[in-house]
Structure 1
Amino acid sequence: MTARTARPARPANAEPAATRTVLHVGCGVQKPGRLHALFRAPGWQELRLDLNPDARPDFVASLTDMGVVDSASMDAVYSSHNLEHLFPHEVPVALAEFRRVLKDDGLALVTLPDVQTVAEVIAAGQATKVLYTSPLGPVTALDILYGHHRSLAGGNLFMLHKCGFTDALLHRALTVAGFGSVRVRRDRATYSLWALAHVLPGQTQEIPGFATPGAAPAPGGPFG
């Protein structure tokens, strides 16, 4: 693990702050706003996990083997556009790892491309139409489906998409992985799916915008 900046000491008579820990998997290079707003609120501490040591994560590991993270040690897992970069047979392994590192009252927030919405664009004959512009440049339906072509052409093969999800497929994958309560929402504005999965049945966590169709819980599309 990398060293972290020490926080200012609290007054001796102050109540200790309750801290919950979120494991930000596939975090990439640290940038403002990359972590979901829910976990930037007071009371949350981010730990970062990535396969690339150049991203300077707290844990260097893959989604399919997070053995460096203790079981039942995290309050939350946040995964933003990671699972589509795995082969289909690797997805259950990764989701089982998400479930393993979470405490009994933990939750996972997962977002990834919605191939059903993308397929509608392709079926309408607009496969190469620019749908929006990301920090990486223009993004088409084919980019969302297969991976950003300009990044791939530049040699960044980590951008390749190896599998895809509909809302039903994502819901089933999380349920099979052992999550007791799963909600999935489609965000057509960013061609994305959002899943909120709790370890135990009946648990709820209100996230602004999650239950509102068309309102993205966090900025950025598949390449944001």
Structure 2
Amino acid sequence: MNAFSAAETTLRTVLHVGCGIANPAKLPAAFFNPGDWREIRLDIDPEVQPDIVGTITDMADVPNASVDAVWSSHNVEHLYAHEVPAAFAEFRRVLKPGGFALIAVPDLQQVAGLIAEDRLGDAAYLSSMGPITPLDILYGHRPSIAQGNAFMAHRTGFTARTLQACLEEAGFPVVNVLRDGSFALWAAAYV
């Protein structure tokens, strides 16, 4: 039995791509009330025990128009720039009509401000993994990479304008991008 062969339910389905280790708190409650949503977890790393092992550039195990939402928190930047269109096309492919993708990525324009102030190695903010510097935001969490987790490397980045353009080019007719003030961009892309 796979994640999509479960009995019909009144719950909407969110495909949590790049999910990492299971933790229901990773779904933003403002968008995914636990009483309304069923989470299906997809990750490239089998060590995190996702429902589906796979990459966001080829989600062949996820049927067309099968989910109500796609949640992608800080993983699109781990792709190479030429892979981003394929990932966004996959997000659009798996969404049901009326569905949406919610995507969070680092805000390189805001990070550039810290770099211009010569604060490359200073903590921009604290995360559960410890202090995060502009260098980590640009290239990936250095302590994780140093411990052998190459999945944590960043290979591309976005400003609000470029993120919106990439989503529109992938065929999302309505895209809203917001800067959260905490070094992240949030995009809501609707089918």
Residue 19, structure 1, aligned to residue 11, structure 2: yes
Residue 148, structure 1, aligned to residue 137, structure 2: no
Q: Calculate percent identity across the aligned residue pairs.
A: 53
Partner Cα distance (2:16, 2:156) in 1: 21
What's the CA shift string for 1:77-97, capped at 9, x where partnerless?
A: 000001000000000000000
Partner Cα distance (2:44, 2:150) in 1: 14
Paired residues of 1:39 and 1:46 also in contact (CA < 8 A): no
Partner Cα distance (1:155, 1:195) in 2: 30
Match of 1:221 in 2: none
For the residue of structure 1 that corresponds to 2:136, the secondary structure is: helix
For the residue of structure 2 that corresponds to 1:196, the secondary structure is: strand
For the residue of structure 2 that corresponds to 1:161, the secondary structure is: coil
Which of these residues, 161, 183, 190, is aligned with residue 191 of structure 1? 183
Q: How does 1:90-101 map to 2 (within 5 A)?
A: 90-101=83-94
Which of these residues, 27, 32, 38, is aligned with residue 35 of structure 1? 27
- TM-score w.r.t. the length of structure 1 is 0.80
For the residue of structure 1 that corresponds to 2:25, the secondary structure is: coil
Partner Cα distance (2:184, 2:56) in 1: 20
For the residue of structure 2 that corresponds to 1:33, the secondary structure is: helix
Match of 1:69 in 2: 62
Paired residues of 1:75 and 1:107 also in contact (CA < 8 A): yes
- TM-score w.r.t. the length of structure 2 is 0.93
Paired residues of 1:70 and 1:101 also in contact (CA < 8 A): yes
Deviation at 1:176, TM superposition (A): 0.5
Deviation at 1:180, TM superposition (A): 0.8
**AA matched with 1:193:** L
What's the CA shift string for 1:22-45, capped at 9, x where partnerless?
A: 100011110241112121342211
Aligned residues: 189
- RMSD of the TM alignment (CA)? 2.0
Deviation at 1:54, TM superposition (A): 2.1
> Which consecutive unaligned segments of at least 5 residues does structure 1 have?
8-15, 200-224
Q: How does 1:71-220 map to 2 (within 5 A)?
A: 71-188=64-181, 190-199=182-191
> CA 1:105–1:140 in structure 2 vs 1: closer, same or farther (change >3 Å)?
same
Partner Cα distance (2:11, 2:129) in 1: 34
Moved over 4 A (4+): none
> CA 1:83–1:17 in structure 2 vs 1: closer, same or farther (change >3 Å)?
closer
- Larger-gyration structure (1/2): 1
Mean Cα displacement is larger for which, 174-183 or 144-153?
144-153
Partner Cα distance (2:85, 2:96) in 1: 19
Query: With CA pairs under 8 Å and 6+ residues apart, which has the higher RCO, 1 or 2?
Result: 2
> Which consecutive unaligned segments of at least 5 residues does structure 2 have?
none
Deviation at 1:149, TM superposition (A): 1.3
For the residue of structure 2 that corresponds to 1:170, the secondary structure is: helix
